Structure 1
């Protein structure tokens, strides 16, 4: 598998394009190679179970922003001279987050990943529109997904063009031992690989 992984990244000498994930349980024979990217399912909010777990040729949006209502509250200081203005401020906060989510949907992406949190409101919003999302994806995994799928990590949801979206032949969430994994295979760049190591103990995965 190691040889196949190195061959998979071609002439690219960036070994960080090879991911190694350890999943206790099973035997070493249960280990496998993904010609693409795989990482453990991140923390998820209510509504996640309603999201689709498999797509064929999906477009994917890669973000480095929070999609949480609280982020709007924490990033601003507002002084009110009239208590009646409070409701208008609350409404504005909701409008801001819904505008962000709507722009994600309008991009055409079926998979939305972010290095920062994607909260319960956003998770349910995406689920209702048959979109998969995952927040708090590690920097390393997000960059590998970008390299593999041809996507570009965005710091805003404004003016998203098709060229910044990634894609792969198959995206699926799959059970591996006691863990759930997000797996991106058939990636157009063909310059990434992930080795998923199985074993009855941590020592097995360190060999």
Structure 2
């Protein structure tokens, strides 16, 4: 960490050249809460940054740390991937529209599978709307309308605009997600669904079932 903060190079001997030394404008030891930290400031060659999170409770700090880590990782992935798609459920609504169109070209039981997959994709924007306090049904209906307007599909990037509580072109509003992340999410969800559907038998543990029955009996007696 000292090396990353000052730009110094780690040496195995004290007889090394001074060219390997780092630069630090100020070094101090500070106390935050019950812990003490060494702080390096004024480092022109620094390759690391320290973020201090504060909160009224430990659970708030942990939640903020998780959210911050997710944000940093998503930006890192976007920079490495060089390809992004519109967020806010826009890509899921567009895939759902495409599947509904494909549904008309086939027959048989495959229609049921594709129809269910299409509806499942709409859960993403619906959940975003629900969590934002908006009318999820109204939002999804508006998105369906937008994604079906025009021959060139002018509304293909329309998704849930949480900040303004409406639907909008999330690509123009810089609400982006790495393409690779969305692909991995869809592949993982599809594989999980296939695994669940492939289960044709369940094995019960007799002792576990007996414990559950005993717990129900005790609860009934206490009630």
TM-score normalised by length of structure 2: 0.26
Rg larger in 1 or in 2? 2
Greater share of helix:
2
Greater share of strand:
1
